Copies of this chain bind each other. A is one copy, B any other.
Amino acid sequence: MKLTPTMQKFVLHWGEMGWKWGISRAVAQVHALLMLAPKPLPADEIAETLGVARSNVSTSLKELGGWGLVRTVHVFGDRREHFETLGDVWEMFLIILRERKKRELDPTLAALRACSAAIKDGGKEEAPAAGHAAARIAELADFIELTSAWAERGAALSPAAARRLCALGDKVFRLVG
């Protein structure tokens, strides 16, 4: 697949964007390419188009698969696996929301709760933390819990519902002045 200059720019930007959000550059670039492609691509074509090693693409595709962002497709008369990404941006967004909640919010919340508990019944070893620090940790835990609950509800929406919610715009915010 030949990339026009603009398509190259897009792939580069998406790679950068993903990078800032803690996703490896290569992974994000593969994803970008699959979004642009009008049909599923085999791994070696991805490698060639992006100018990276075949093995690198394999790893990236596996990671994207782990997120549920790409799936494999089989083409008649071709033994190679072909890869495509989801068609709907909203669906991708919801998947990422779900995954990040599971991978980052949930473990953090568990850790904070454990800290809170340890301080509460930690005897004199923890005494110096019992005041301000304990309050602070509890506060954070509550915050993450709320965030988590919101993420969960949000992630449970259908793409269509999420779209509608966003379209509501102002109305939601006026609820709380």
Residue positions of A touching B, CB distance < 8 A = 2, 4-7, 9-10, 13, 17, 20-22, 35-38, 89-90, 93, 103-104, 108, 111-112, 114-115, 118-119, 122, 125-129, 131-133, 136-137, 139-140, 143, 146-147, 149-150, 153-154, 157, 161-162, 164-170, 172-173, 175-177
Contact = CB atoms under 8 A, between A and B. Distances in A.
A176 B161 contact: yes
* Copies of this chain, count: 2
A47 to B, nearest CB: 19
Contacts of A164: 176
A166 B139 contact: no
Contacts of A17: 104, 108
B172 A9 contact: no
Given A108-B17, A133-B38, A150-B166, A125 B4 contact: yes
Contacts of A6: 115, 118-119, 122, 126, 129
B90 A143 contact: yes
